[in-house]
Structure 1
Amino acid sequence: MSLSPDRIALLRLISAGGAAGPRRQLLQDCGTPAAALDAGPDVWRAAGLTPPQCTALRRPDPVDARVLAWLDDDARHLLGWHDPDYPAPLRRIADPPLALFVDGDPTLLWHPSVAVVGSRSPTPSGRENARDFARAIATSGLCVASGMAAGVDTVAHEAALSVEGRTVAVLGTGPDVPYPPANAPLRDRLARAGAVVSEYVPGTQPQPFHFPLRNRILAGLALGTLVIEAAERSGALITARLAAEAGREVFAVPGSIHNPLARGCHRLIRDGATLATSATEVIQALASQAALLAQDLQIRLDAPIHPVQGREATVEAGLGHGDADYQTLWHALGHDPTAMDQLVERTGLTTAAVSSMLLLMELDGRVFSQHGRYFRNR
């Protein structure tokens, strides 16, 4: 499969390096990567590109064959700043990436998510908390985002996968380079069942400065960041700070005063983070922010769920590929509260699919929940 001129041009813009801001401005001014590349040095300089960046764009260097080979797969995607599929939450952070390489489902980057982060060497209770919080968040229909690092990140991703929930990993390496290397099988599972995301080109090896930069993407994609366990100086606290600076919610799980890995969480709570003792508290606190993404998500998934005039208790049909499943779930719901496992059994859908659709129906006002049971809005 050959890449389009726009994709080739975007790869050349990425390889020019330097500050991303001027290249974002160039894309915004010109509309497409190919037009930006054809615009020439005067337009490049007017957008703020530096002489080294202009020199790099003038060179007719071929795009790395390894990158082209990686993109030669329908399951892999390249989303540039100009692209309508570029995730809306990231556009609102201070320094959005110029582009994202995605291995897996790119629509997950639009889904309301919670970043679950913490120590690379958590205590046993920290691991249990990471698993329990992530599992409950995923079951609720929200996406669990993390960085695929050892410890809390790994536990959070695996917990979401265990309930067939949505999960996204944001890497500080190329999207094809697992770090730590022991997480290679997890990276592959995430690519198949979720999404693996990076601003670095395929093949990029780990560098210490990549990971703090990675954290801004993780914090920017998520509606909120939940810190499970963290020392007073840790990458998790960097993610929490970046989340707060981006106007996102920050939650911290308290711990024993004798646990050094609880000190970072206690500091966050002292500084204004929300103390979280259950996943329900996190989910409820983010409901209003999730509603802001609901309309964009419905459009992106072609899954309208608005009522039709003159037809009681139905879902508008025939407007998108997701409608059949929504109809099935709607008819499985009654006016009496129904448990999740009963809805899964009635519909034949996965728990993750039912959870996701119920979330959208709740945000749309079509469904209410009560003590973990769901019913139609009376």
Structure 2
Amino acid sequence: MDELIPWLRLSLVNGLGPRGQIQLLRALGEPAAILAAPLDVLVQYVPRPLAVEIHANQQRDLPQLSAAIEWVKRTDCAILTLADDRYPKKLLDLPDAPPLLYAMGNLALLDRPAISIVGSRNASAQGIQNAEAFAQHLSLHAITIISGLASGIDAAAHRGGLANTGSSIAIVGTGLDRVYPATNRTLAHELANNGLILSELALGSPPKAEHFPRRNRMIAALGLGCLVVEAALGSGSLITARQAVELGREVFAIPGSIHSPLAKGCHHLIKNGAKLVESGADIFDELAAPLSLFSLPNLTKKPAHSEVVENHSNDPVLSKMGWDPINFDALIELTGLTSEALCAILLGLELEGQLSCLPGNRYQRLAGAVRS
């Protein structure tokens, strides 16, 4: 426990950040040596105000330090530093690798092959279904699913990962004593019990906008590849994909309707070299070499080809819909049904999971699950 205290004190220096910590660690060695260094030494590596903060933090009474010391005593809670053998090696590819990580759950997941899945918070019903189905299929073959515990695609990916042996890791933009968004509290508890949650942020850290790009770089780094399910142009998911490319990771994207704003980001990625995926087999094919380095039972042979199971139906409404969103009035014209009859059929199809009701009185047909 005592060896953690200098790491925690250094991480709690206001304004220092991972890059500054890494620079000091390379120059001066252990955090204890950094905290004890004279000001005239520290100012050779950081601005004087930061040097004063570092010097002061050696003796300062820090509530977050006391909270961390008590927190790490709990079962399944850990604090990993760069000096810890359990620290995930893939994060070392980052130029600003977090010197310290808070972890809650199963640390063994850090040694397994993993895929990051990211996408829109305001995802479509089909996007949610695709994310969960792909995650579930990958997890079935012992691939751990990494995402960011956001609403939409992230939450669906975590649910899919937790459904099978690969499980799931959430990297969050708050302290681990908080859950954001609050609507994912139950999912967060399930991840803590059956998966893993990671954060570089101190306990008590709130969900600030600047925290999420920091989280995203870790999501990009920790996986062998990054799958983008739905993303608008200019979204954070595209930034995560770009970071994955910069780190030498494979990027995959699921195409969508040319009319959907949430498909434009994926189409942009595909135009710029991301691998278009329609099935889990597409991912396994691309990652065959790195996956061969793992000796997990489910990876001793290549999984069978997987595909999306379509909801084949003779229903006249489904046969007229196609796969793009369509509004109610257009469906009346196409089917020749009365408004009352069409409403009844649409409700039944929605309850069966064969279509989704979208904003603007529009409907979209849904594909089925990924299978192998």
Q: Which position in structure 2 is the counterpart of 1:14?
A: 11
In structure 2, C-alpha distance between the alignment counterparts of 1:78 and 1:267, rounded to whole Å: 38
Matched residues, number: 300
Could you say if the C-alpha distance between residues 26 and 260 of structure 1 is closer, same or farther in structure 2, counting changes exceeding 3 Å? same
In structure 1, C-alpha distance between the alignment counterparts of 2:145 and 2:124, rounded to whole Å: 21
The answer as to 2:38 corresponding to 1:37 is no
The letter for the 2-side match of 1:62 is D
Could you say if the C-alpha distance between residues 138 and 108 of structure 1 is closer, same or farther in structure 2, counting changes exceeding 3 Å? same
Partner SS state of residue 148, structure 1: coil
The answer as to 2:357 corresponding to 1:357 is no
Q: Percent identity over the alignment?
A: 38
The letter for the 2-side match of 1:22 is G
Partner SS state of residue 4, structure 2: helix
Structure 1 runs not aligned, ≥5 long: 295-304, 306-355, 363-367, 373-378
Structure 2 runs not aligned, ≥5 long: 306-372
Q: Which position in structure 2 is the counterpart of 1:271?
A: 272
Residue 67 of structure 1, CA deviation: 2.5
Q: Which position in structure 1 is the counterpart of 2:194?
A: 193
Map 1:9-158 onto structure 2 (within 5 A).
Answer: 9-17=6-14, 18-46=16-44, 48-59=45-56, 60-64=59-63, 65-158=66-159
Residue 39 of structure 1, CA deviation: 4.0
Q: Which position in structure 2 is the counterpart of 1:371?
A: 304
Deviations 1:89-138 (A, max 9, x none): 11012321121111112232232211111111211211111111000111
Q: Which position in structure 2 is the counterpart of 1:238?
A: 239
Could you say if the C-alpha distance between residues 207 and 131 of structure 1 is closer, same or farther in structure 2, counting changes exceeding 3 Å? same
What TM-score does the superposition give when structure 2 sets the normalisation length?
0.76
Could you say if the C-alpha distance between residues 26 and 370 of structure 1 is closer, same or farther in structure 2, counting changes exceeding 3 Å? closer
Tell me if structure 1 keeps the 8 A contact 2:106–2:196: yes
Partner SS state of residue 125, structure 1: helix
In structure 2, C-alpha distance between the alignment counterparts of 1:168 and 1:44, rounded to whole Å: 37
Residue 181 of structure 1, CA deviation: 0.8
The letter for the 1-side match of 2:188 is R
Q: Which position in structure 2 is the counterpart of 1:180?
A: 181
Tell me if structure 2 keeps the 8 A contact 1:121–1:150: yes
Could you say if the C-alpha distance between residues 8 and 115 of structure 1 is closer, same or farther in structure 2, counting changes exceeding 3 Å? same
Tell me if structure 1 keeps the 8 A contact 2:142–2:165: no
In structure 2, C-alpha distance between the alignment counterparts of 1:248 and 1:114, rounded to whole Å: 10
Residue 30 of structure 1, CA deviation: 4.8
Map 1:208-219 onto structure 2 (within 5 A).
Answer: 208-219=209-220
Could you say if the C-alpha distance between residues 43 and 189 of structure 1 is closer, same or farther in structure 2, counting changes exceeding 3 Å? farther
What TM-score does the superposition give when structure 1 sets the normalisation length?
0.74
Residue 223 of structure 1, CA deviation: 1.0
In structure 2, C-alpha distance between the alignment counterparts of 1:177 and 1:239, rounded to whole Å: 23
Residue 13 of structure 1, CA deviation: 0.4
In structure 2, C-alpha distance between the alignment counterparts of 1:192 and 1:259, rounded to whole Å: 37
Residue 235 of structure 1, CA deviation: 1.4
Q: Which position in structure 2 is the counterpart of 1:375?
A: none
Partner SS state of residue 163, structure 1: coil
Deviations 1:335-369 (A, max 9, x none): xxxxxxxxxxxxxxxxxxxxx4333xx3xxxxx34
Map 1:242-257 onto structure 2 (within 5 A).
Answer: 242-257=243-258
Map 1:293-332 onto structure 2 (within 5 A).
Answer: 294=294
Partner SS state of residue 231, structure 2: coil
In structure 2, C-alpha distance between the alignment counterparts of 1:258 and 1:370, rounded to whole Å: 34
Residue 228 of structure 1, CA deviation: 0.5
Which deviates the most, 23-32 or 229-238? 23-32
Which deviates the most, 14-23 or 203-212? 14-23
Root mean square deviation, CA, Å: 2.0
Tell me if structure 2 keeps the 8 A contact 1:7–1:33: no
In structure 1, C-alpha distance between the alignment counterparts of 2:33 and 2:195, rounded to whole Å: 33
The answer as to 2:222 corresponding to 1:225 is no
Residue 19 of structure 1, CA deviation: 3.7
In structure 2, C-alpha distance between the alignment counterparts of 1:201 and 1:211, rounded to whole Å: 14
